[in-house]
Structure 1
């Protein structure tokens, strides 16, 4: 890298959060730099301080956060003490943030087009027609399907991955000097993930845009970043060029992360098929109105069958219909045609108390733990809520059940007195999993349930899911874009594209001999656990 003044320089940064009347320091004396055109990855477990550091750089810490000391220098100028009004003029123009949570980052009452257009209207000289054309171009660049139609949709009409792509489009709109990308691809399938990261690489080459890449995916960091910083407990444990860190890690914690992130061989046995599967969806079709006499065909004649005590993965790009199918299975949406049976019981005809009792047997772990956990409740109240709805237990008995399930998902008991807003994304996802497990369901629908978890916790959760399945005979429908996890966890898999099944079968056959070109494309796009060979030019 050049010896000129770094584009960004963080010096001795320390940050704290207030909980009640106590301040707890979560980032301790952190220093690093970022050069023009460079990608630096911040990796580490959930709660390690990665996101807090990234938010502090752009002046977006939570209200209960503060900077205890240190400087943040942009082009050599300390911006750490700038007032919010001055930072507002900086954001989006010179530094853009792609936040971790797409659900809470888009305005629910404004269309997608209006939200992408806003930054152009405020900071460019383009007229309305030029801005609309630019919005469509941006949505196309980030791989959003049907961009002309998406302009008039609202956030609730998009999947989590589609919302994330809208946020990336907003961040790219003005080609800023720095993009702070906080888990920017955690909700994206591997093909779109590759497209987004290729796009960031193009911006780095063409415009000298620097990228601070916050991620729990060490394989992705190794493949894409120039340098990697390993965070733990708010401190930098190790910093090195990506190739050096992967080949010769110096810190024991880095070696543990590498071990947890290494590809794992699939060794699961296929369960014995039974006459009555736990889940059977037959010829499901579903369309949604987009407004202005337009309709989006979300599912077209989709059939899926899941054997009892097995794990069936539903994979495909964002917007392929995975979550829509799950909502139909759970009775949250009605199919336009087709049928669903769970444990031999038809879901389509259930109403009222019968449908409520069915949901005791089948539980849903949502993709977005930020939106699915009530910020007004303690974690104890959140996890015990299903017990209040379905079982007559004393407060002490509920507490005992909650403590047991919290321990199962690798969370400490003392966390129960906190609220969801005090947790990292990965911690919130584990709470969501605990809430789903509290009733001992027979079927668990997991919608990107490990996408927010760092590799170490993800390995623990996947091991836990396998243990629970072996002990309790649970059936899992695992909705994901993470094919590495599919290969490790699933017995069988269905590949969806644009609402249609393109391939289905046992996981070993699908990975070793995929029949469809799209399946082969998905497998080829899985990040390889090695630094890329960079062109010398």
Structure 2
């Protein structure tokens, strides 16, 4: 890297958040530099201060946040005290942010094309036709399928991964000096993830764009970053060139992260393949209207089955139909063709209370646990709500059931009086699991249930899921783009592409000898990482 003055220098930065009338410092005396063309990764568990640090650099801390001290120098000029008006002229032009949550970062009443166009309209002299052409080019560059059609769609018509790619297109639009990427690929499948990171690498080479890469994915950081900084409790525990940090970690916490980054399968009973399948889908077809007499064929003749007490993974790129298929299984959508049988019950003809009672057998764990938890309720109210809806129990019986399931997912009972805002990401996901388990279902549908979690918490949740499966005989349908997790977690897998099954089979065989070119592409795109240490290190 160049020995010249750094593009970005963070010097002795300390940050606090106010809770009630008290301030709590969450980032303590942090210093680092970012050179032109360099990628520096900030890694660490949820709540470690990574995102707060990234937001402070671009002046986007929450209203209850403040800078206690320190400087933020862009090309030598301290921007820490700049007004929001002055920072607005900087954002998107000199520094761009790719936020972590695509669902809350796009305007729901504007088309995605209009939202990409906005930054071009504000900062370039391009006319409308030229801007639209540039918007389509940007959406193509970030790997969005059918970009000409997507321009006129609204955020609710896109999957989470598609929304993330729109945000990345906005961040790339003006080729800024620095891109702050806060978990930019956590919602993306491995092939699109590779394409986006290859694109960032190209920008680094061609334009000298620097990237501050906030991630919980240590394997990805090790593969892509020049340097890695390990955050914990608002402090940098270790900072070193990526190869050096991965090959010879100095801090015990870094060694634990490296161990957790490689999933480890626990022993479990074999699935009951002789019994009737827990899930059977035959010839599922589904299309959606796009307006102007156009339709999108989301699913075409999809068939698969899941053995009882097993884990079946649905994998494929964003927009491949995974979540649409899950919504059909749960009865939230109706298929245009085909049939679904759950736990020996055909669901096609179910209506009203019969369909409602089926949902006792199959429960959904959402990708974003925070968005699915009511911030106005306590954890006790959130977890007991299904009991109120489905069973007539006394307050004491409900209390016993709630406390028993909370203990099962390894949450302290005393946390039940708290709200979701007071929890970490891993704790929220445990609450979501507890709510799903409270009715004793036979099947759990897990939609990217660990994609937003740091590696340590992800390892804990995966181990918990395997333990629950052992104890309760649960069947899991695991919707994910994380093939590394599939390899260690699933018994069988179905690969979807553009709404069609391209390959299906047991995990060991499929990973060892993939038959379809797309499956081989997916497997080749997995970041290659093996923990160099043992758990006891």
Instruction: Tell me the TM-score range normalised by the shorter chain.
Output: over 0.9
Q: State the shift of 1:274 in Å.
A: 3.0
Tell me the residue number matched to 2:535: none
Q: For each residue in 1:506-534, what CA deviation from the matched residue of structure 2 results, as whole angstroms up to 9, or x when unmatched?
A: 11100111111111110000001289xxx
Tell me the residue number matched to 2:317: 317
Note if 1:195 corresponds to 2:191: no
- 2:331 match: secondary structure: coil
Tell me the residue number matched to 1:357: 357
Tell me the residue number matched to 1:30: 30
Q: Distance in 2 between matches of 1:404 and 1:128?
A: 60
Note if 1:375 corresponds to 2:375: yes
Tell me the residue number matched to 2:2: 2
* Distance verdict in 2 for CA 1:118–1:430, change over 3 Å: farther
* Distance verdict in 2 for CA 1:378–1:324, change over 3 Å: same
Tell me the residue number matched to 1:534: none
Q: Distance in 2 between matches of 1:215 and 1:406?
A: 29
* Distance verdict in 2 for CA 1:94–1:404, change over 3 Å: farther
CA contact (8 A) 2:42 2:228 kept: yes
Tell me the residue number matched to 2:280: 280
Moved more, 522-531 or 355-364: 522-531
* Distance verdict in 2 for CA 1:306–1:42, change over 3 Å: same
Q: Distance in 1 between matches of 2:409 and 2:171?
A: 34
Q: For each residue in 1:85-111, what CA deviation from the matched residue of structure 2 results, as whole angstroms up to 9, or x when unmatched?
A: 222221111111111111111111111
Tell me the residue number matched to 2:497: 497
Tell me the residue number matched to 2:67: 67
Q: State the shift of 1:357 in Å.
A: 1.4
- 2:508 match: secondary structure: helix
CA contact (8 A) 2:265 2:489 kept: no
Q: Distance in 2 between matches of 1:530 and 1:41?
A: 19
Q: State the shift of 1:315 in Å.
A: 0.4
Tell me the residue number matched to 1:487: 487
* Distance verdict in 2 for CA 1:118–1:61, change over 3 Å: same
Q: State the shift of 1:411 in Å.
A: 4.3
Moved more, 481-490 or 69-78: 69-78
- 1:174 match: secondary structure: coil
Q: State the shift of 1:375 in Å.
A: 2.6
Tell me the residue number matched to 1:253: 253
Q: Distance in 1 between matches of 2:151 and 2:502?
A: 28
Q: Distance in 1 between matches of 2:24 and 2:227?
A: 29
Q: Distance in 2 between matches of 1:408 and 1:216?
A: 26
Tell me the residue number matched to 1:535: none
Q: State the shift of 1:309 in Å.
A: 0.6
Q: For each residue in 1:214-237, what CA deviation from the matched residue of structure 2 results, as whole angstroms up to 9, or x when unmatched?
A: 111100000000000001111111
CA contact (8 A) 2:272 2:309 kept: no
Tell me the residue number matched to 1:90: 90
- 1:32 match: secondary structure: strand
- 1:325 match: secondary structure: helix
CA contact (8 A) 2:183 2:215 kept: yes
Q: State the shift of 1:324 in Å.
A: 0.3
Q: For each residue in 1:338-373, what CA deviation from the matched residue of structure 2 results, as whole angstroms up to 9, or x when unmatched?
A: 111111112121122111111111110112234222
Q: Distance in 1 between matches of 2:79 and 2:405?
A: 44
Q: State the shift of 1:175 in Å.
A: 0.7
Q: Distance in 1 between matches of 2:411 and 2:90?
A: 38
CA contact (8 A) 1:237 1:251 kept: yes
Instruction: Give the TM-score taking structure 1 as reference length.
Output: 0.95
CA contact (8 A) 1:164 1:184 kept: yes
Q: Distance in 1 between matches of 2:65 and 2:398?
A: 33
Tell me the residue number matched to 2:225: 225
- 1:369 match: secondary structure: coil
CA contact (8 A) 1:266 1:488 kept: no
The alignment's C-alpha RMSD in Å is: 1.9
* Distance verdict in 2 for CA 1:15–1:58, change over 3 Å: same
Q: State the shift of 1:493 in Å.
A: 0.4
Instruction: Give the TM-score taking structure 2 as reference length.
Output: 0.95
Give structure 1 stretches of 5+ with no counterpart.
532-537
CA contact (8 A) 2:112 2:153 kept: yes
Q: Distance in 1 between matches of 2:221 and 2:269?
A: 32
Q: Distance in 1 between matches of 2:16 and 2:398?
A: 33
Tell me the residue number matched to 2:128: 128
Q: For each residue in 1:61-91, what CA deviation from the matched residue of structure 2 results, as whole angstroms up to 9, or x when unmatched?
A: 1222222222211111121122222222211
- 1:60 match: secondary structure: coil
CA contact (8 A) 1:100 1:184 kept: yes
Q: For each residue in 1:236-285, what CA deviation from the matched residue of structure 2 results, as whole angstroms up to 9, or x when unmatched?
A: 11000000000100000000111111354697665231342111111000
Tell me the residue number matched to 1:326: 326
Q: State the shift of 1:377 in Å.
A: 2.6
Q: Distance in 1 between matches of 2:161 and 2:497?
A: 14
Q: For each residue in 1:412-457, what CA deviation from the matched residue of structure 2 results, as whole angstroms up to 9, or x when unmatched?
A: 5554444334444444333322322222211000000010111111
* Distance verdict in 2 for CA 1:523–1:289, change over 3 Å: same
- 1:372 match: secondary structure: coil
Q: Distance in 1 between matches of 2:398 and 2:58?
A: 42
Q: Distance in 2 between matches of 1:265 and 1:442?
A: 22
Tell me the residue number matched to 1:468: 468
Equivalent residue runs for 1:195-214 within 5 Å: 195-214=195-214
Q: State the shift of 1:395 in Å.
A: 4.5
Q: For each residue in 1:366-394, what CA deviation from the matched residue of structure 2 results, as whole angstroms up to 9, or x when unmatched?
A: 12234222233333332232222223445
CA contact (8 A) 1:261 1:455 kept: yes
Q: Distance in 1 between matches of 2:7 and 2:398?
A: 53
Q: Distance in 2 between matches of 1:281 and 1:495?
A: 14
Tell me the residue number matched to 1:77: 77
Tell me the residue number matched to 1:341: 341
Q: State the shift of 1:47 in Å.
A: 1.4
Q: Distance in 2 between matches of 1:60 and 1:369?
A: 23
* Distance verdict in 2 for CA 1:410–1:275, change over 3 Å: closer
- 2:487 match: secondary structure: helix
Q: For each residue in 1:487-509, what CA deviation from the matched residue of structure 2 results, as whole angstroms up to 9, or x when unmatched?
A: 11101000000000000011110
